[in-house]
Amino acid sequence: MVDSTDRAFHGNHQYGMGYEPTYSGANSLFRRQYSRDLERVDLVTWGVPYDLSVTNRPGCRFGPRGIRAASTNVAWDGGPWYWDFDPFEKLRMVDYGDCTFDPGFPREIPETIYREAKSILASNAFLLTMGGDHSVTYPILRAQAERHGPISLIQIDAHSDTWEENPKRFDHGSMFYHAAQEGILDAEHSIQAGLRTYNAKSHGFQTLTAEFVHEQGVAATVAKIKEVVGDRPAYLTFDIDALDPAFAPGTGTPVCGGLTTWQAISLIRKLTDVNLIGADVVEVSPPFDNAEITALAGATLLLEMTCLVASQR
């Protein structure tokens, strides 16, 4: 039976999945209430619709909108498959909406993202972000590091995003190099998995290629992640191009030979005893998507991350 429509605006639906037809209503993430009142909120989802630093195909500024729409397909009453609970019976989650910035002043945008992330984190809620291109992770990490010190990064990606450059640019392929150089990230205890593009320098990051994941399996990949990260504060960032283009055609820099959706989901599910402080999914580009395949993958990964957080409460 239908509870109601437009549950995103109804304050009486703060807990539990509930039900609403997938084809109607306001498209908040997982039909959570839109709110900027963060009192007693456990988890905040937030969109950063920015793609001015992409180096190939644009369009991931539409990522948050596309992911929210696709998320209606996974917001089923009773909770998601595999997990034996409804995450929204454990967590009070709200959709904060999107970061607001003026694209006419591009150099000011990272600072704007940082300030808004810092404001959200002041509530002590877990911040789950939808990109946007991958550069949006940098100002979020900056805000997180102010609270936790140098952070261990768990990066699932086709690219290292540690290309060395001088002077510093705000770019979606170099931000983790700068974050490590500036002490925001603890490179020695950070790990990148799914890589399949060349970079001559690791800059201290531990790396696992896509071949390692395919040949050694998800369990071995997770074991290596846990070995590197330990119990340190860790941030999980998932670039959707970590998936093979067959599973995620809607992205700016697709690379063949990537992970399957199943591998990615299984990997996230097995991170239950990692000390996660935040997470994001980035680089979903709806203009290049087919039948919402990529947006649905992004929404599903975000739901798995939400269940992961709920399982630790």
Indicate whether 2 belongs to any domain. Answer: no
Position 1 in a domain:
no
CA-CA distance, 221 to 302, in Å (whole number)? Answer: 20
Q: What is the pLDDT of residues 139-188, one digit of tens each?
A: 999 999 999 999 999 999 999 999 898 888 888 889 999 999 999 999 99
Helix (H) / strand (E) element for 307: namely helix 293-311
Torsion angle (degrees, nearest 10) of CA 285, 288, 290, 294: -20
Is the model's pLDDT at 98 over the cut of 90?
Answer: yes
Section 243-256 average pLDDT: 97
Does residue 155 belong to any structural domain of this protein? yes
User: 213 lies in a domain?
Assistant: yes
Query: Does 35 score more than 70 pLDDT?
Result: yes
64 band by pLDDT with thresholds 50, 70 and 90:
very high
Of residues 218, 202, 219, the one with CA closest to residue 210: 218
- Does 157 reside within a domain? yes
Distances from the Cα of 170 to the Cα of 110, 156, 166, angstroms:
8, 20, 11
- pLDDT digits over 3-25, tens only? 567 778 875 546 788 778 888 88
3-state secondary structure of 219: helix
* Residue at 211 is within a domain: yes
Q: Which residue has the higher pLDDT, 168 or 262?
A: 262
Each residue of 192-214: pLDDT tens digit?
Answer: 999 999 888 888 999 999 999 99
Residue 168's pLDDT is 85
Show the domain range for 133.
7-311
- Give the CATH number, domain containing residue 201: 3.40.800.10
Residues ≥6 apart with Cβ < 8 Å to 290: 249, 250
Confirm if 121 and 147 have CB atoms less than 8 A apart: yes
pLDDT of 116 strictly over 50: yes
Distances (CA, A) of 44 to 62, 106, 108, 181, 273: 19, 25, 24, 29, 21
Lowest model confidence (mean pLDDT) among 30-39, 74-83, 117-126 = 74-83
Structural domain includes residue 156: yes
pLDDT at 1 over 50: no
Torsion, CA 34, CA 35, CA 40, CA 42, rounded to 10:
50
Residue 108 falls inside a structural domain? yes
Say how many domains are in the chain. 1
